[in-house]
Chain A
Amino acid sequence: MSERVAVRKTYKLFIGGKFPRSESGRSYLVQSSNVSLASRKDARDAVVAARAAVKGWAGATAYNRGQILYRAAEMLEGRRAQFVALGVPGDEVDAAVDRWVWYAGWADKLAQVYGGANPVAGPYFNISAPEPTGVIAVVAPERPALLGLVSVIAPAIVTGNTVVVAASPSEPLAAVTLAEVLATSDLPGGVVNILTGAITETVPALAAHMDVNAIDLTGVIDTALATDLEVKAAENLKRVLRPASADHDWFADPGLARMTALLETKTVWHPKGV
């Protein structure tokens, strides 16, 4: 009997819950696989999908978002071997699963920690609560490709934002595989959109896009590019997370900063009277 011929996976983009090829029809070779080389147009399509998903995702209950993120952790755990086969170290996959779980739990707690009643000097009820910023463009760290990616996506979406992520250009396979995890986690289409390819092609379009509310430059290594992106982002006053330092420890406790950087604080006043 001849050896069974394997069915190979096509690595495509993840936009609006679907897996399209780049509209440009281009791809590039990584670990013997052809990976979609996303274009500026793909980036724009991803923003449209992300914007369309904001209302439902931000409007979902925090409990519901927490459940879905936890579901993603379950799915990720189940595909552990697949990531290991792609070359992701086992302890990194474990850490990525744990990170999803950690962030999942924040969904219905952050507002209590980060918001609250303000004792104003007058007859008013006054309360501040965090709200999602909206559509976030994210440049994932070059590596660790999986843990880094999870560590930038989860804090952005747990609070109700939607993201367009530029995955690690050199190690995109984990990103596309993570997209498959997310696609099977009850995560509504468009909440996470993943672009593979050259950062220099997609991210400037995202940084300049007037319907993107914030940009996370974590994975940008080239300082001139980072500066250029920050300048572009100023056009509509995007919230900017600057690049992470080269020696950033992705296994360490992330703290709240990544979540709170992508939140708005809304304060509501109402008189107290009879």
Chain B
Amino acid sequence: MFEYAPAPESRSVVDLKPSYGLFIDGAFVDPTDGDSFKSINPASEEVLAEIAEAGASDVERAVRAARKAYDKVWGPMPGRDRAKYLYRIARLIQERSRELAVLESLDNGKPIRESRDVDLPLVAAHFFYYAGWADKLEHAGFGGNPRPIGVAAQVIPWNFPLLMLAWKIAPALAAGNTVVLKPAETTSLTALLFAEICQQADLPPGVVNIVTGAGDTGRALVEHPGVDKVAFTGSTDVGRAIARSVAGTRKKLTLELGGKAANIVFDDAPIDQAVEGIVNGIFFNQGHVCCAGSRLLVQENVADRVLESLKRRMAQLRVGDPLDKNTDVGAINSAAQLERIRELSDAGSAEGAERWSPPCELPDRGFWFAPTIFTGVTQAHRIAREEIFGPVLSVLTFRTPAEAVEKANNTPYGLSAGIWTDKGSRILWMADRLRAGVVWANTFNKFDPTSPFGGYKESGYGREGGRHGLEAYLNV
């Protein structure tokens, strides 16, 4: 036997304070009514820090600071100077990436391998990419005089805390807007460290404001009349509520919501890579991924073989301490999310699907869920229709390409899809017909700052990334 010894990444790079204030107008301030909540490490349930909870008056202060910065500093600033601030931020992120990665894993529960090799490089790249747009907006294809919108209210989820922050803040600032951003209540810490980076970059006060809190804070921010633009990433239900709340206003809205992606494997697929793609599609980031390949559609004539390979591969997944460099699957982000995953998985069993997990020892403390697949799933099962947002894969079969397309599209969502086949013309035929904003062919869960990302149908509207991502932050 070859047992890997523990290989923990050191926590010492992270200097956690006992409590954090709100970041408003360039400084950390206490909330007006002094409320706070605790951020915990989901892998151990240890309290990491006390986080200020922003109330309506704090949101008011933040929006006012953002407005002032927009009117006086950031709006009038030449694009080339905005660019330099963004480049500075990108560099600071690269320089402090170890610290950010460790903090992300501590607060979110994701494996350090992913925060180190995926999240942080993409975060820096995103700022670097949009920095370069700041002084080229008139060439971006939106007419000769694209104008920023004003103050952007941005509400982001807990699954990729810093990456989602980058997706929101980088294009907004490049286009000349100022922002008030609310991180998810379970993962505020890297956003607050990012606030320190803004200070280190000498970013003018008020350009970036971070208000921490839960749903009420988010609602106050989104509904604030001083906001010109709302960008939200999160659940479809909350997205719907936001769409209602901005109805009748001048606020421009972009939404990146849920998904129930089909990952479609044909009998001529490169099987070993397809199995990797299935694993990466659903177990990456514990399945807390809106574009996760949570429905495996496998051609019936290779289903047994693919499932056998998949199970063998799943048995290799190392579940445990997110800070261990060899961990593949970390902790579920919160007790509430774990409860939801359990509830839907239990529904899967109750509805008659067959459940399987590799033997895997889960830690006693913290929130954990073993990688799980359900076979014998039909389109009617809840686990084939509802977003589980966890390491749970529903396996369905199909017989023909047309049937695969039909099943893949048979959902109110439309964020992503995967296709695995060695036949080029079939890939293009399928890609044309899949109603999804991102189609990965012979790969899955790939992201890049130049590549637009966003959904069809109830997966939201607007695109983040690339030239398209600028449009959300410009009056065109």
Binding site for B on A (CB under 8 A): 113-114, 118-122, 124, 126, 128, 133, 213, 223-224, 226-228, 230-231, 233-237, 239-240, 255, 257, 260, 264-271
Contact = CB atoms under 8 A, between A and B. Distances in A.
Contact of B468 (A124, A128, A230): A128
Nearest to B240: A234
A271 B248 contact: no
B115 to A, nearest CB: 18
Interface string B413-433: 010000000000001000100
B451 interface: yes
A267 B438 contact: yes
Contact of A126 (B244, B431, B448, B457): B448
A235 B257 CA distance: 13
B31 interface: no
B437 A126 contact: no
B448 A122 contact: yes
Contact of B240 (A118, A213, A228, A237): A237
A224 B248 CA distance: 8
A230 B248 contact: yes
Nearest to B438: A267
Contact of B439 (A133, A233, A240, A266): A266
Given A113-B141, A133-B456, A237-B461, 15 more contacts: A118-B450, A119-B450, A128-B466, A227-B247, A233-B243, A233-B247, A234-B240, A234-B241, A234-B244, A237-B236, A237-B255, A257-B476, A264-B456, A269-B441, A271-B443
Residue among B239, B241, B248, B440 with the most chain A CB within 10 A? B248
B454 interface: yes
Contact of A234 (B247, B439, B450, B457): B247
Contact of B437 (A118, A124, A266, A270): A266
Contact of A237 (B257, B451, B466, B468): B257
Interface of B: 125, 141, 143, 236, 239-241, 243-244, 247-248, 255, 257, 412, 414, 427, 431, 436-443, 446, 448, 450-454, 456-461, 463, 466, 468, 471, 476
A265 B243 contact: no
Nearest to A230: B247
8 contacts: A118-B452, A122-B448, A231-B248, A237-B461, A239-B461, A267-B437, A268-B431, A269-B440
Contacts of A119: 450
Nearest to A255: B143
Q: Is the interface of A mostly helix, strand, loop or mixed?
A: mixed
A256 B450 CA distance: 22
B266 to A, nearest CB: 14
A270 B442 contact: yes
Contacts of A267: 437-439, 451-453
A203 B248 CA distance: 16
B476 A124 contact: no
A237 B453 contact: no
Contacts of B243: 230, 233-234, 237, 240
B443 A270 contact: yes
Nearest to B455: A264
Contacts, number: 105
A270 B441 contact: yes
B239 A264 contact: no
A223 B457 contact: no
Contacts of B468: 128, 265
B437 A264 contact: yes
Contacts of A133: 456
Contacts of B461: 237, 239
A120 B447 CA distance: 8
Nearest to A117: B450
A260 B450 CA distance: 19
A165 to B, nearest CB: 21
A270 B427 contact: yes
A265 B239 CA distance: 19
Given A231-B247, A237-B243, A271 B451 contact: no
A260 B463 CA distance: 12
Nearest to B433: A59
A118 B443 contact: no
B129 to A, nearest CB: 9
Contacts of B125: 121
A255 B448 CA distance: 29
A264 B463 CA distance: 9
Contact of B452 (A128, A223, A271): A128
Given A213-B457, A234-B244, A269-B441, A118 B451 contact: yes
B95 to A, nearest CB: 19
A154 B255 CA distance: 27
Contacts of B244: 230-231, 234
A238 to B, nearest CB: 9
Contacts of B446: 120, 122, 124, 269
A222 B179 CA distance: 32
B431 A124 contact: no
Nearest to A260: B471
B274 to A, nearest CB: 12
A60 B452 CA distance: 25
B107 to A, nearest CB: 27
Contacts of A120: 446, 448, 450-451
A204 to B, nearest CB: 13
Across chains A and B, which 9 residue pairs bring their CB atoms closest together, nearest first? A227-B248, A230-B247, A234-B243, A120-B448, A118-B450, A234-B244, A270-B441, A231-B247, A268-B439
A191 to B, nearest CB: 19
A228 B248 CA distance: 8
Contact of B412 (A122, A233, A236, A265): A236
Contact of B463 (A239, A265, A271): A265
B240 A235 contact: yes
Contacts of A121: 125, 448, 450
Contacts of B452: 118, 128, 265, 267
Nearest to B427: A270
A126 B466 CA distance: 11
A227 B412 CA distance: 24
B439 A265 contact: no
A23 B422 CA distance: 52
